[in-house]
Amino acid sequence: MANRSYLYSLDVFSDCPKPRAIGLSESECNIPLIYRILVSSAPQATDSILFSGQGKIAITADYDGGVRKLEEFFSKLPQEYKEKAENVIKFLKDYKNRQTYIHLECAEIFEIEADEDEFEKKNAELVEEIKNIDEEIKKALKRIHYDGDTFDVREIEAEYWTNTLFFTPSSGDEDENGDNASKEHLSSEYSSAPKNNDVKPAKKNSVKSSKKSSVIIWDILVPLVIAAVGIILFVLTGSQAIVLLTAVLLFIYSKIKKNRESPSDFNDKGSNAYWKSKSKNLENSFDEIFKPLVRDKQESSENYETIQSGFFTVKVPKKDSGKNDDVEKYTHEQAKMILQRIHDTDGAESIRIKTAVKETPLPLTASKFGGLPYWERTDEFPRDEDGKPLYLLAQINFADVPHLPDFPEKGLLQIFVKADDLWGLDFKDERQKNWRIVYHKSISSIMAMSEAELRAMGVKTASDEKDEEEYLPFEKEYALSFEKQLTFVHPNCDDQFDDTVQAIAQELGFPVFDGGALDWFEEDDYNAFYLDDKYANHQIGGFPNFTQSDVRRVGDVLLFQMDSEMGNGEDGKSKSWEILWGDCGIANFFISRADLKNLDFSNVLYNWDCY
């Protein structure tokens, strides 16, 4: 059988003991672009979950970050790929598949052109390529749009995305002594590799030996049995139908052998689930063969319609075309009433922040984005893991801010970040290592450091000349002004918006749909209520914005939000980005209500995402 690359989701890092691996996809003889995109969010060379003792020959990355990156790629594909792409994203976001990490195994691909002792080097090279995936994506999109090339997107098919892979790692299983089963044994569906701790590390060809046993048993024996039985029945009956049936069974087998489960799956799921999955494969194969042979058109009557299902023609009750749940969208009038009710009853106070560029540096105690911070001589300045001073992202002087319940009425809140490509964010660790929240209850002119003292300590601003490795989402210093306003739950608040809409729809006697509210409304309907182009959503309190998904913990309050912002170009007429989080993204900082009341900023959740 062909060498393959394999994609799994993991609950813990692959270097940890007993990772729970869920199969996602596999591809023969290559490492698809889509796989590389999915492991492009903080990729790291890690141990294999299939072969032990081989070194760092696999890649593990952030799951949600990779899915967001793939969604961004899919959004730029031609319309013809939209439905297939949506199916892939739906599969990846399914709670049964989604875990903390996404994991790519490429050892079999490396095996095609390299010796075993070169696997780590090949994998390290692949990690570096993946870190520069944006350039490869641009080239792929050019080929797709301008050259008509479909090679890079052919993997957007249902058959490529399945939990049933040829290899399922025996992660989490225990041997008779209670120890973790050795990872080098890949449980192919029809092999029975021993599980003990005395087995030697897997060699380069160990995977091939387990495959050969499967080939002998299934790829040769089963077709021979089917053919032999067919010949015997034909000799006994002389019926040509036997020949046709034998051919059909051989064809079905050729289809379902590509989608095998491992014996560990058999044991974990039980025989009922195992054979249920096989029956599904049979059903799909029968449909593939016989559906083209059935040409009966759908017939209709007053109460029933005729549809084709596999071999059978059946009559089912017609759907009521007058009901909204046929298309699961609210009419314009229904949408207007639901959204107006949200505005009338569910407003939350917030502070909208407006920015203004100043030609001269602002006072050290001023509310600002960027610039130099207020700092006292007796305090240790915030630094990153390498000991370098962090950059001031935002400074809020609450003496300038209209009061919100539970927020400070005075004092200085500061947010510091590292000037790198993730601006201090670590998807795997919420601790404030490369970013920091600092709150000064009072301001002391005596203890405050001067600009010269800050500069002497190595503190920089976004406006300073810097190398390509250090940058912030903006390059200027911005003065801030504040005004109180109401915000409302909106589509980007995910489940909270969905639950609110469902409750109001039920109260108004409208249909209550399943799924997500973004599918229930025409875009123009909710844009009329939520789209505001006058200024960016820099904000304190109220309902947050997201470009991807709601990341809040239960009970979180929006401490601060910085949006991407468009400003005037150098000619004063054109527009250009003044503040830019990745691809038109947004940053949020969340805190629990209790911590906010206690002015405890040690457990803040920081996140930013983009399109």
pLDDT, tens only, 332-341? 888 889 888 8
Mean per-residue pLDDT, 463-472: 72
Strand, coil or helix: what is 201?
coil
Contact 89, 106 (CB under 8 A): no
Please report which confidence band the pLDDT of residue 77 belongs to, taking 50, 70 and 90 as the band edges: confident
Spatial distance between the Cα atoms of 7 and 27, rounded to a whole number of angstroms: 9
Query: What phi and psi values does residue 215 have, to the nearest 5 degrees?
Result: -60, -45
Type and span of the H or E element at 565: strand 565-568
Query: Distance between CA 151 and CA 595 in Å, rounded?
Result: 52
**What mean pLDDT, rounded, does the chain reach?**
77
Whether the per-residue pLDDT at 531 is higher than 70: the answer is: no
Distance (Å, whole) CA 11 – CA 19: 6
Contact of 18 with 178, CB cutoff 8 Å: no
Helix or strand or coil: residue 214? Answer: helix
Confidence label for 14 from pLDDT (cuts 50, 70 and 90): low
Whether the Cβ atoms of residue 384 and residue 418 lie closer than 8 Å to each other: yes
| Contact by Cβ (8 Å): 513, 325 | yes
pLDDT-based confidence at residue 522 (cuts at 50, 70, 90) = confident
Among residues 194, 202, 258, 187, which one has the least CA distance to residue 21?
A: 187
Please state, in angstroms and rounded to a whole number, the distance separating the CA atoms of residues 73 and 154: 14
Q: Which helix (H) or strand (E) holds 111?
A: helix 107-113
Secondary structure class of 310 (helix, strand, coil): coil
Least confident interval from 193-197, 371-375, 549-553, 593-597: 193-197
The whole-angstrom distance between residue 126's C-alpha and the CA centroid of its chain comes to 21
Q: Whole-angstrom distance between the N-terminal and C-terminal Cα of the chain?
A: 39
Instruction: Give the pLDDT score at 571.
Output: 60
- Highest mean pLDDT (candidates 256-260, 423-427, 568-572): 423-427
Backbone phi, psi, residue 398, to 5°: -65, -10
CA distances, 37 to each of 69, 74, 153, 435 (Å): 7, 11, 12, 27
Highest mean pLDDT among 275-284, 397-406, 531-540: 397-406
Q: pLDDT at residue 283 above 80?
A: no
- In three-state secondary structure terms, 7 is strand
Higher local confidence (pLDDT), 572 or 46: 46
pLDDT band at 297 (very low <50, low <70, confident <90, very high): very low
Please state the pTM of the whole predicted model.
0.49
CA dist 443 and 395 (Å) reads 13
Give the pLDDT band of residue 193 (cuts 50, 70, 90). very low
Tokens at 502, concatenated: 């469902």
Q: Give yes or no for residue 217 having a pLDDT over 70.
A: no
Helix runs in 317-390, H state only: 332-345
pLDDT of residue 574: 64
Q: What pLDDT, on a 0 to 100 scale, did the predictor assign at position 257?
A: 57
Q: Where residue 449 falls among pLDDT bands split at 50, 70, 90?
A: very high
Q: Which amino acid is at 51?
A: F
Residues 6+ apart with CB under 8 A from 181: 170, 173, 174, 175, 195
| Average pLDDT of the residues in 3-24 | 82
Task: Give me the mean pLDDT over the 546-565 stretch.
Answer: 89
- What is the per-residue pLDDT for 238? 74
Q: What is the pLDDT of residue 418?
A: 94
CB 496 within 8 A of CB 306: no
474 token code pair: 């903006």
User: Tokens in use for 56?
Assistant: 């760092």
Q: What is the pLDDT of residue 448?
A: 94
Confidence of residue 252 (pLDDT cuts 50, 70, 90): confident
Q: Which two tokens stand for residue 2?
A: 């062909």
Residue 291 has pLDDT above 50, yes or no: no
Read off the pLDDT band of 611 (50, 70, 90): confident
Cβ atoms within 10 A of the Cβ of 373, count? 27
Burial of residue 204 (CB within 10 Å: 0-12, 13-18, 19+) is: middle
- pLDDT: is 95 or 377 the higher one? 377
Contact between 85 and 53 (Cβ < 8 Å): no
Numbered ranges of CATH 2.30.320.10 in the chain: 332-609
CATH of domain 332-609: 2.30.320.10
Ramachandran angles phi, psi of 337, nearest 5°: -70, -40
Classified as helix, coil or strand, 484 is strand
pLDDT at 152 over 80: no
Higher pLDDT, 396 or 281: 396
Q: What is the mean pLDDT of residues 117-126?
A: 91
**Residue-level pLDDT at 391:** 95
pLDDT digits (tens, 9 = 90+) for 496-509: 788 888 888 888 88
Is the confidence at residue 273, as pLDDT, over 80?
no
On the question of pLDDT at 295 being above 90, the answer is no
Judged against a pLDDT cut of 80, whether residue 216 lies above it is answered with: no
Chain centre to alpha carbon of residue 568? 33
